[in-house]
Amino acid sequence: MSKTLTVEETKRLATLARLTVPEGELEAVSQDIANILGFVDTIQSVQLGDQAADSSNLTNVFREDAVHPLAAAHDLIEVAPLHQDHFVKVPKVIE
């Protein structure tokens, strides 16, 4: 099935995905995504009976809500591109 996606729609997706797509690539990216959506659209024609959305009988797995010391805590902060003491530095969020 063929599908189309406008440049405006792609820009909207890019905003939702927090992903800057350069102006010059918008046309090509829109075409690629339309092709992929056209390919997966085949599932629309598949008729399913009264299926439960998920029949896999999955159960939740819980563990005890207990505190464990984490030796690598400091290392996890260190991998942030900008950090200071025990904090990750982020740009101002509220203008």
Distance, in Å, from the CA atom of 6 to the CA atom of 31, rounded to the nearest integer, reads 9
67 contacts another protein (rule: CB under 8 A):
no
26 contacts another protein (rule: CB under 8 A):
no
For 30, counting Cβ atoms within 10 Å of its Cβ (0-12 exposed, 13-18 middle, 19+ buried), the class is buried
40 contacts another protein (rule: CB under 8 A):
yes
14 contacts another protein (rule: CB under 8 A):
yes
65 contacts another protein (rule: CB under 8 A):
no
The answer to whether 35 touches 4, Cβ cutoff 8 Å, is no
Using the rule CB under 8 A, which residue among 2, 55, 66, 84 binds another protein? 55
